[in-house]
Amino acid sequence: MILRLALKSLLMHPVRAAVLGIGFGLGVGVMATLLGVGEVVLEQARAPQLTGGGQWIVSGTTGPVTSARFVIDRIRRQPITTDQQPTTNNYVASPRLRADLFLIRDGGTLPVRARSGIPSLERALGDPETSTLASWTDTPADRRWAAPDPADVLRAMDHFHPVPDVPARASSWAEWLYFKGRSGDLQFYATFLVGPRQADGRRRAGVRLQLDRGGRQTSYSAGDVIDEAELLRSAPDVTIGRNRVRLEGLRYHLTLDLPGASGEIDIQGIPGQSLPPYTLRGAAGWISGYTIPVMSGSSSGWISAGGVRTTVAGTGYHDHNWGFWEGVTWRWGQVQHGDLSFVYGRVFPPADAADANLIPGVLVAIGPGGPVGYSTRVRIDETDDPATGQPRRIDIRGRGDSLDLSIAIAIEDAIVNRGGAVAFGPDFLQLRGRYRVTGRAGDRAIDFEAPGASETFRGSSGVDRP
């Protein structure tokens, strides 16, 4: 029936049928040609010879990768695990920067697309443009990129930041170095904090030492005013009054001289056991930054307080925070066991900066060679004691391709800081607890109990978040 109708239409309108036939033929031909060209383009896009050998592109989800040397060094050092033993990998990674330039000559302007990289690493990637240019060699700065000193990477991660030009939020800016350690029944927290800029251009700063000795908490502090230019030039080497932090290689040396307490403490870092800087950005210029230069280290030295001198010999940890803190709360915790360290956390921004429900939590496991597993599908539940209103139990659940962990924390003690961590908002609680961790990180089965620390908030500013 259909064939008869088509034949009848062709006989009745031969010219129109011929035109339609030619049109359909051209359409099919053009489509076939485009599909063929697309396949060739796709194959060329995948060809290492045409792209300089690159197989991965690493970028930051919230902006530039601010510690690219750390990221590249971790990629190059990551071992390849065989059935027998880990072996040296053959990974090659190089930083790359693109920019638009304009060449102005003879009254005309010529746009130029410029690309920069490190010569030796670009050649190792098989870049066809530069592989034959013998005059293009690494500078001393390039060589520091190609083979970074772990101490230089640590110092770059731990630098301080200028106060952003956001007048409406400027009064809540603060940045601090935080050190934590455990030795026997003693747990200590040392904070070197620098606040917002004053009218004279200097910055108000303070040092606080908190001790938890077998459930008995004491706190000691001192303040000063410091020069901002010197801080930005020398940090993480920081001097506040008679208290100092000095980074010597991979070792942080703390000198504490506070009313009622003193000490000399070393926090030793380990290459690779760090988390690079990460910055959250919200509306109206709001930012919150975080890095962990020493995720799993050791502590040594001594602390004298309340007439008791204690030798420090145990675990050590150091992180670094910066940002605008009015209206900000968080949940955080850290524990070490064997050669692994685990950190969980979630930041709750002010309502005018971002929707807190859209900012996920994170759970990370770090091993001797760097990150072992992580997840952003994280749930953090806190159960309060009806009598005190403080947490008595925290449950964390994190699932991802490289990590599947359950953490239960039985809270033992709490240090309550009235008015918040940096004098903004509800009470800030520093908790000591017993961690029970089970599950998987990478290809390792996890099952252990160990003492650890946590932080959270309680008060009238609505910090009891889901």
For the segment 192-218, the average pLDDT, to the nearest whole number, is 91
Please tell me the predicted confidence (pLDDT) of residue 363: 95
Residue 94: per-residue pLDDT: 76
Average pLDDT over residues 322-346: 93
> What average pLDDT score do residues 392-418 get?
94
Q: What is the pLDDT of residues 12-59, one digit of tens each?
A: 666 666 666 666 666 666 565 655 555 555 554 444 444 444 555 665
Give the C-alpha separation, 246 to 313, whole Å: 19
- Sequence-ordered alpha helix ranges (H) in 305-352: none
CATH tag, 151-324: 2.40.370.10
Whole-model pTM: value is 0.77
pLDDT tens per residue, range 231-262: 999 999 999 999 999 999 999 999 999 999 99
pLDDT score of 338 more than 70: yes
- Which range (81-95, 349-363, 388-402, 407-421) has the least confidence? 81-95
Long-range contacts at 374-382 (CB < 8 A, ≥ 24 apart): 374/400, 374/402, 374/403, 375/399, 375/400, 375/402, 375/403, 375/404, 375/405, 376/400, 378/344, 378/346, 380/331, 380/344, 380/346, 382/331, 382/456, 382/464
Residues 434 and 451: beta-carbon distance below 8 Å: yes
Q: What is the DSSP string of 79-95?
A: PEE-SS-EE--------
What is the distance between the terminal CA atoms of the chain, rounded to a whole angstrom?
67
- Mean pLDDT, to the nearest integer, of 136-157? 85
Given this model, what pLDDT does residue 125 score? 77
Q: What share of the chain is helix, strand, coil (3-state, %, to 5)?
A: 20, 50, 30
Give the model confidence (pLDDT) of 48-104 as tens digits: 444 444 555 665 554 566 666 676 666 666 655 545 455 555 677 777 777 888 888
Mark 315-326 as b/e (b = at least 16 C-beta within 10 Å).
bbbbbbbbbbbb
Dihedrals phi, psi of 401, to nearest 5 degrees = -60, -35
Of 273, 253, 251, nearest to 263 by C-alpha is: 253
Mean pLDDT of the chain: 83
